[in-house]
Amino acid sequence: MSSYPKSPLMGQMMSKPMLISSIIEHADRYFGKNEIVSRRVEGDIHRYNYSECHRRSKRLANALRQLGVQLGDRIATLAWNGYRHLEAYYAISGSGAVLHTINPRLHPEQISYIVNHAEDQYLLFDLTFLPIIQAIAAHCPCVKGYIAMCDRDRLPTDGKLPNLLCYEDLIDANSDDFVWPVFDENSASSLCYTSGTTGHPKGALYSHRSTILHSYASSMPDGLNVSARDSVLPVVPMFHVNAWGLPYSAPLSGAKLVFPGPQLDGKSLYELFEQEQVTFSAGVPTVWLGLLTYVAQNDLKFSTFKRTVIGGSACPPAMMKTLRLTYGVEVVHAWGMTEMSPLGTAGTLMAKHRDLSEEEQQAVLEKQGHVLYGVEIKIVDDAGQELPWDGKTYGNLLVRGSWIISSYFKGEGGDVLQDGWFPTGDVATIDPDGYMQITDRSKDVIKSGGEWIGTIDLENVAMAYPGVLQAACIGVFHPKWDERPLLLVVRKPGAEVDKQALLRFFDGKIAKWWTPDDVVFIDALPLGATGKILKNKLREQFKEYHLPTA
């Protein structure tokens, strides 16, 4: 892959390709007894350890070989976070095939589109997703077989499903005598499609090398900071951007892994946090909302939970404060995207911040943070000119690095890079210390009288107001200013919120002219397949909305 010149004097170090199979081999050999605990689709709790996980992964790899799976073939999964999914992660990528994780929250039509686009040969699925398989099977001629991730006695008896195979039968029928093949580290390892709110989803095709580098970098103390002393519960799904790499970084570090399966409600999560002495977790803000509501309503505390990474959308400062001040949980605000494997930045303090006040430290931590080594960022104007790092000037955020795509799978969307940089579609500021703060998605920015209003700041202020559960701000048509902000609010159960008082709450917190023109209370915000608020749906819903005239 490298097209760089060779020095006449090359280093004399071993050149062992960086392959995903080496992670599970390492976890087996050095952390073999460390536990993996899963809440299963079957409802019970399953426990085993890294050695057993490795053995079963090798059995599955043998099974895939028997089925004729070759290097580079795409094998899909439609599954929750659980031990069988972890085995599939290692068996598929480890044997040189490509793990294609599918987000079950996508519409079946989108799912059959990406199965066909990826040309998946086999599809492994949790029983929860049987209706999806039934809906797509007739439209996916490339799939040679569907592997139900269950015991034989639970195998669906739907005669209409062609080539239905039983996961546990495959495991039982194959030996764990398997030597992981060695191949070029730049070979494709896994594939994840973007959530595609407009147009077809596009595939980000990761390599073994990019995955290992991302796992190393993201495990560092100012990243996920995963260690052999941690009990890690990834709430973030393995079906979207590989659960932010935790299925790799946890075994790499020897951390205990705790998988929540399909039960992501506050009560189920809280029980698992306590029973399995979880110290570290990761998820999108909407998941924490459910957990924190349950914990507050039942007057509970966490006994071991110390640190969480929140990203995927902006973490509201109010949530960060509640976790830190009420529950003693450190929040690391992280930013990234499917195209970036996903991690780009994480918000932690430097030594120079140690003596700052609580409020000043909080202001640093609210930003999306500092790059991980291996990622570079810059902000540019619409003409591509680089903008200053003054913490105030905002521009289009570009990235480059070893775990960022150079193009989409099969070249969809053409040449996506700008002078070797990937345009993220986010608008951000960068301060003189290199801390980046997202102000908006470029398509969500409100353009008022030729000036830009970032909606994240407005939402953060609204969510700090008592009685506000969730808030989203969108631009709606205004005859004089083109667009003005409309604030949509979901109230906490039983709470009253006075519209004018809420609008007065913005005074002094943002530029006066940014203040929303109006507030509408709604029952729920539409969420997309990855837990993000679907602002395009809200814009559609409120496109005829008449703002009050001053």
Q: Does 470 bind ligand AMP (CB under 6 A)?
A: no
What residues contact 139, with CB distance under 8 A and at least 6 apart?
112, 116
Q: Does 438 bind ligand AMP (CB under 6 A)?
A: yes
Closer CB to ligand AMP, 58 or 532, in the complex = 532
Stretch of residues binding ligand AMP (CB under 6 A), selected from 148-156, 157-165, 307-315, 388-396: 307-315
The H or E element spanning position 53 is helix 50-66
Nearest to residue 402, comparing CAs of 151, 215, 173? 215
Q: Which residue in 187, 219, 338, 455 binds ligand AMP (CB under 6 A)? A: 338
> How near is the Cβ of 363 to ligand AMP at its closest, in Å?
16
Catalytic annotation, pick one of 410, 443, 447, 543: 447
Site for ligand AMP in 474-493 (CB under 6 A): none
Q: Following DSSP, what letter does each residue of 271-311 receive, concatenated?
A: HHHHHTT--EEEE-HHHHHHHHHHHHHTT---SS--EEEE-
Site for ligand AMP in 179-198 (CB under 6 A): 194-195
> How near is the Cβ of 191 to ligand AMP at its closest, in Å?
14
Long-range CB contact pairs, 274-277, < 8 A, 24+: 274/302, 274/303, 274/304, 276/37, 276/231, 276/233, 277/231, 277/303, 277/304
Residue holding tokens 């602002």? Answer: 535
Q: What is the DSSP letter of 71?
A: T
Catalytic annotation, pick one of 77, 101, 194, 345: 194
> How near is the Cβ of 345 to ligand AMP at its closest, in Å?
8
Reading the block at residue 105, the tokens are 């929250």
Closer CB to ligand AMP, 162 or 413, in the complex = 413
d(CA 485, CA 106): 29
8 Å CB contact between 348 and 369: yes
Q: Which residue in 56, 59, 100, 333 binds ligand AMP (CB under 6 A)? A: 333
Nearest to residue 170, comparing CAs of 149, 200, 185? 149
> How near is the Cβ of 428 to ligand AMP at its closest, in Å?
9
In this structure, the dihedral spanned by the alpha carbons of residues 114, 119, 123 and 129, taken in order and rounded to 10 degrees, is 20
Annotated catalytic residue 543? no
Site size for ligand AMP, by CB under 6 A?
A: 20
8 Å CB contact between 124 and 93: no
Strand partners, 310: 283, 333
Reading the block at residue 501, the tokens are 């008082």
Q: Which residue in 314, 346, 372, 405 binds ligand AMP (CB under 6 A)? A: 314
Task: Tell me the per-residue interface mask from 377 to 396 with ligand AMP, x by CB under 6 A, - otherwise.
Answer: --------------------
What residues contact 483, with CB distance under 8 A and at least 6 apart?
446, 447, 448, 475, 476, 477
Query: Strand 307-310 vs strand 330-336: parallel, antiparallel, or unpaired?
Result: parallel
Annotated catalytic residue 452? yes
Neighbours of 371 (CB within 10 A): 21
Closer CB to ligand AMP, 69 or 337, in the complex = 337
Spell out the alpha helix ranges (H) of 465-519. Answer: 499-504
Q: What is the DSSP letter of 212?
A: H
Closer CB to ligand AMP, 28 or 366, in the complex = 366
Stretch of residues binding ligand AMP (CB under 6 A), selected from 301-309, 402-410, 419-427, 469-477: 419-427
Catalytic annotation, pick one of 274, 452, 492, 537: 452
d(CA 35, CA 230): 11
> How near is the Cβ of 100 to ligand AMP at its closest, in Å?
16
Q: Does 547 bind ligand AMP (CB under 6 A)?
A: no
Stretch of residues binding ligand AMP (CB under 6 A), selected from 296-304, 306-314, 410-418, 496-504: 306-314
Closer CB to ligand AMP, 93 or 396, in the complex = 396
Q: Does 241 bind ligand AMP (CB under 6 A)?
A: yes
d(CA 404, CA 402): 6
Closer CB to ligand AMP, 195 or 253, in the complex = 195
Spell out the alpha helix ranges (H) of 148-237. Answer: 167-173, 208-218
Task: Tell me the per-residue interface mask from 76 to 115 with ligand AMP, x by CB under 6 A, - otherwise.
Answer: ----------------------------------------
**Amino acid code (one letter) for 159:** G
Catalytic annotation, pick one of 52, 185, 339, 483: 339
Q: Which residue in 203, 316, 342, 401 binds ligand AMP (CB under 6 A)? A: 342
Q: Which residue in 368, 448, 470, 515 binds ligand AMP (CB under 6 A)? A: 368
Q: Does 348 bind ligand AMP (CB under 6 A)?
A: no
8 Å CB contact between 215 and 249: yes
Annotated catalytic residue 168? no
Q: What is the DSSP letter of 133?
A: H
Closer CB to ligand AMP, 107 or 154, in the complex = 107
Annotated catalytic residue 80? no
Q: Which residue in 25, 52, 426, 459 binds ligand AMP (CB under 6 A)? A: 426
d(CA 12, CA 15): 9
Catalytic residue list: 194, 339, 447, 452
- Residues within the interface to ligand AMP (CB under 6 A): 194-195, 241, 311-314, 333-335, 337-338, 342, 368, 424-426, 438, 441, 530
